[in-house]
């Protein structure tokens, strides 16, 4: 059972997690145009990279990732390279997750960016554990998703309906910038991207090799003690075997 568990953990760490985060990094900038229904890829703006750095720091503070265990001189070189590539994929997946829920242009992008920046900065000074951090991220991305792909999508749609008229009446004389209209499939792609990203975070292990190293160290300690016992007992056994004929002769002479 332990052997199967180790194989499953290795499969998740070396194959599943990189695949998930690379998929998120690809889909986070994907849009579907409303007119031609063609795929449009939007590169992540600079603010998403800054937000991703803050989020990675929050992962470390919330004990979701122990970077000193992911990248350690106790691991083989190929293992450290694999772990570094997985963390790099996580960084870009985080940036693209923000890109997925940020408006593409105008004042609304800066409003959303300030909301994310303020939230992540304040969380740097809060106490978090891994479970609470995941719940906080679900709420954060879920709120931004609802605002962009449900409210704003209805607001900037050609047939915006009552929401567009209401917003026009409330914001008369003010402009929030023009937003390009995308097909409804963009919202589905964003929802799948965020769900996949949160699922990948749930599969992350804070210290991927911690248990394996403990078992290896314990086994090495047992082997050392066993070797020491054998080394100490070996001369005794040899002495007994060497003295055995003399003892038999002495007993025969007494008899």
Average pLDDT of 2-28? 89
pLDDT at 107 over 90: no
C-alpha span between 102 and 150 (Å, rounded):
13
> Residues with Cβ < 8 Å from 227, sequence gap 6 or more?
none
What SS3 state is found at 16?
helix
118-121 contacts at long range (C-beta below 8 A, 24 or more positions apart): 120/51, 120/54, 120/55, 120/58, 121/54
pLDDT at 89 over 80: yes
User: Per DSSP, what are the bridge partners of residue 39?
Assistant: 32
pLDDT at 168 over 60: no
Q: What is the DSSP string of 182-200?
A: B-THHHHHHHHHHHHHHHH
Q: What is the pLDDT of residue 143?
A: 92
Per residue in 221-252, pLDDT (tens digit) is 555 555 655 555 445 444 444 455 555 456 55
Cα separation values, 198 from 91, 194, 204, Å: 13, 6, 10
Average pLDDT of 198-221? 68
pLDDT at 216 over 50: no
C-alpha span between 179 and 190 (Å, rounded):
17
Average pLDDT of 20-30? 95
- pTM score, two decimals? 0.74
Closest CA to 98 of 172, 132, 160, 148: 148
More confident residue, 85 or 254: 85
C-alpha span between 153 and 199 (Å, rounded):
26
Residues 201/17, Cβ–Cβ less than 8 Å: no
Average pLDDT in the chain: 79
Residue 6: pLDDT band by 50, 70, 90 thresholds?
A: confident
Q: Which of 50-54, 159-163, 181-185 has the highest mean pLDDT?
A: 50-54
Say which DSSP state 96 is in.
H
Per residue in 142-161, pLDDT (tens digit) is 999 998 888 877 766 655 55
For residue 35 the two structure tokens come to 């007119």
- Only one residue has tokens 């804070």, namely 206
Cα separation values, 60 from 22, 32, 67, 137, 205, Å: 21, 35, 7, 14, 12
Residue 99: pLDDT band by 50, 70, 90 thresholds?
A: very high
Residues 194/27, Cβ–Cβ less than 8 Å: no
More confident residue, 56 or 108: 56
Closest CA to 126 of 136, 141, 113, 115: 136
More confident residue, 4 or 83: 83
The percent of residues above 90 in pLDDT, for the chain, comes to: 39
Q: What is the pLDDT of residue 208?
A: 80
Least confident range from 24-28, 38-42, 217-221: namely: 217-221
């Amino acid at each position: 059972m332990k052997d199967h568990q180790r194989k499953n953990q290795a499969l998740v760490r070396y194959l599943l997690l990189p695949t998930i985060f690379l998929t998120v990094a690809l889909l986070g900038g994907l849009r579907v145009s409303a007119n031609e229904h063609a795929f449009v890829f939007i590169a992540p703006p600079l603010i998403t990279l800054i937000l991703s750095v803050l989020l990675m720091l929050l992962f470390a503070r919330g004990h979701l990732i122990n970077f000193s265990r992911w990248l350690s001189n106790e691991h083989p070189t190929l293992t450290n390279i694999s772990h570094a590539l997985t963390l790099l994929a996580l960084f870009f997946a985080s940036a693209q997750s923000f890109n997925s829920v940020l408006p593409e242009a105008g004042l609304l992008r800066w409003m959303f960016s300030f909301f994310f920046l303020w939230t992540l900065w304040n969380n740097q000074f809060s106490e978090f554990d891994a479970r609470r951090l995941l719940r906080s991220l679900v709420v954060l991305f879920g709120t931004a998703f609802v605002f962009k792909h449900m409210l704003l999508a209805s607001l900037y749609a050609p047939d915006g309906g009552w929401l567009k008229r209401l917003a026009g009446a409330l914001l008369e004389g003010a402009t929030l910038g023009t937003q390009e209209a995308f097909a409804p499939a963009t919202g589905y792609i964003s929802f799948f991207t965020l769900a996949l990203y949160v699922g990948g975070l749930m599969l992350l292990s804070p210290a991927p090799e911690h248990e394996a190293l403990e078992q290896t160290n314990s086994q090495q300690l047992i082997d050392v003690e066993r070797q020491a016992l054998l080394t100490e007992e070996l001369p005794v056994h040899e002495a007994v075997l060497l003295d055995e004929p003399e003892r038999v002769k002495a007993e025969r002479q007494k008899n």
